[in-house]
Amino acid sequence: MDQLALLFVLLLGAVVSVPVGDRVGLPAPVLMTLLGIVLALLDFVPNVEISPELILPLLLPPLLYAAVRRTSWRQFAANIRPIFLLAVALVFVTTLCVALVAGAIVPGLPIAAAVALGALVAPPDPVAATAVAGQLGLPRRLVSILEGEGLFNDVTAIVLYHVAIAAAVSGTFSPWRAGLDLVLSAVVAVVVGVALGWGANKLMDLLDDATLQIGLTLLVPYASYVLAEELHGSGVLAVLTTALFLAEYAIDADDVLTRLAGHTFWDIVDTLVTGVAFGLIGLELHNAIRTASGRWGEMLGWAAAIVGVVVLVRLLWLLPATWVAKRLHAKQDYAEEIPMSWRETVVMWWSGMRGVASVALALAIPLKTDDGSAFPDRDEIVFIAFGVIMATLVLQGLTLPWLVKKLGVKADTEREKEFEKTLAIRAAKAAKRRLREIEEVEELSEELTEQLLRRAFEIGVRISPDMADEERREAHEQRVKRLRRIRRIQGEMMSAARHEVLAARSEAGADPEVVDRVLRHLDVRSLR
C-alpha cells in the first residue's frame, strides 16, 4: 500500500465512520482514531510521510472555517468573559504546569521544548468535543462553550507554540520580544482576517454564481492563513477572523440555493478532513512505537504523568473558574452561556479531549534547529504528545456518553421550543408586514388578501405548531395533509419528467449540456 492508497482508505473511513458511529453510539472521530491504530499495526501499511511545515496549513484552515460557520461573532462577544476564564487562561496554566513537570521528569529537556510540549497538548479539540456533544444532546450553552473554548484555545496555544519553537530553534529567548511578537502577531492576523473577509464578501457579489461562490469559500481560509503567516501574524487567528466576518456579513437571505449548497459542501469538507486528521492520529502509532523501542516503561511513565497533569489541571481550574463566572454572571446579569451546575462542569471537564490541533502541532515540530543539529528531544515530545492525545481522545471519548447519562445532563428542550416558537411568530409577523406594504402599492382582491394572510400565518405554524390555538391547529393539520398529498403527486410527476429528460442523455444526437441544463431547471423547481 502506498501513500495515495492510504489517503483513499482514510477518506473512505471518514465517510463510513459517520453512520457506523450513529449505530454503535460512538463519535466518528473516535472511530477514525481506532481505524488509524488498526492500520498502524498492519505491516503492509506505510508510515505517513508529510512534511512538518505542511501539516498546519493543510489541516487547520478548513477545519477552523467549518467550525466557525456554526457560530457567530455576537455569540463570541456575548461570552467573551466565560471563554477567557474557562478557556484562554486555562491554556496558559496548562502549558506552564506541563512544562514544569516535563522539564522535571524528562532528562535534559530544554525549557523551550518543554513549553512547546505544554502548548501543543493544552488545547482541547473543538471538532472532537462538538462531535461528541452533538450526539449526546447536551445543553446548547454547554456546546457553545466547548466550541468557543476549542477555537480560542487553538489560537492561544498555537501562538505560544510558535514562540516556544522559535526559541528552541534559535537557542535564544527574550520575554519582551516574545510579548511584542504575540501582540504584533494578533494585530496582523486581525487586519489580514478582516481585509480578506471584506474582499471575499465583495468578490462573492461580483461572482453571482453558487458554484463559484462556494469554491471561493474553500480558497479564502487557506489564503487568510498563508498571508497572515507570511506577514508574521497568527494564521489561525486570521482564519478565525475571516470566517467570523463572512458568517456575519456574507449572508444573503434570499440566496437559498447557495446557502443550501454551501452548507452541504462544508459538511462534506468537514467530514473528510476531520476523518483524515483523526486517522493520522492513530497512524502515528507507527512512529510512536518505533520511538519507544526498548524504552517502553520510561516513556509510558512520562506520557502517563503528562496525561495526569493535563486532566487534573483542567478539573482544578474549571471548578473555581466556573464558580467565579457564575458569581460575575449573577451580579451583572449578562446573557452569557456558562455551566449552570457542578454536573455540567464535570461534563465540560471530561469533554477536554485533545485532537486535530495537537496532532498537527506535534507533527509540525521542526526536525532541525538553526545550527543544523537535531531538534532537542523531538521523538520524546512527539511520543508524549500522542500519548496524551490517545488517552484523552479514546478514553474520554468512549466514556463521555456514559458519564453524561449517569449525571443526567440533558438539553433544555423546553427553552429551545420556546425560542423556536418566538422565531416562528417573528417570521409570520414579518411576512404579514410585507403583505401590508405590498397592499399599499398594489391592488389586491379581498379573497387574495385573505389567502395570503393565511399563508403568512402558516409560515409560522409550519416552524412551530405550538403558536396556533387548537381550532387553527386542526385546520392547519388538515391543510398540511392536503398539501402533502398534492406535493406527493407533484413529486411523482416531477420524477417522471426528470427520468424522461435523463433518458434523453443516452439518445443519439442528444447534447448532454442541454440535457443537464434542463435537468438542473427541474431540480431547482423540485427544491422550491
> Where are the alpha helices (H) located in 284-412, listed in sequence order?
285-291, 296-332, 342-350, 356-363, 378-390, 397-407
Q: What are 201-206's contacts with CB under 8 Å, separation 24+?
A: 201/245, 201/246, 201/249, 201/250, 204/250
Q: What is the pLDDT of residue 101?
A: 94
What 3-state DSSP class applies to 180?
Answer: helix
Nearest to 237 by CA among 317, 160, 299: 160
Question: What is the per-residue pLDDT across 57-77, written as a single tens digit (0 to 9) for each?
Answer: 888 888 888 877 766 666 666
> Mean per-residue pLDDT for 26-35?
80
- State what percent of residues in the chain have pLDDT above 70: 82
Question: What is the per-residue pLDDT across 469-502, written as a single tens digit (0 to 9) for each?
Answer: 555 666 666 777 777 788 788 878 888 888 888 8
Q: Enter the C-alpha cell of residue 523.
A: 431540480
Residue 413: pLDDT band with limits 50, 70, 90: low
pLDDT of 253 above 60: no
Q: Which residues pair with 490 in a beta bridge?
A: none
Ranges of beta strands (E only) in 427-521 are none
The amino acid that residue 216 corresponds to is L
Question: What is the per-residue pLDDT across 84-137, written as a single tens digit (0 to 9) for each?
Answer: 776 678 899 999 999 999 999 988 888 989 999 999 999 887 666 666 655 666
Q: What is the pTM of this model?
A: 0.73
Q: What is the pLDDT of residue 364?
A: 80
Please name the residue that has the C-alpha cell 466556573.
Answer: 322
What letter does residue 374 receive in the DSSP assignment?
Answer: B
Range with the poorest average pLDDT among 26-30, 154-158, 176-180, 289-293: 289-293
Average pLDDT score, the chain: 79
Q: What is the pLDDT of residue 57?
A: 84
Please name the residue that has the C-alpha cell 506541563.
Answer: 98
Nearest to 315 by CA among 341, 291, 348, 282: 348
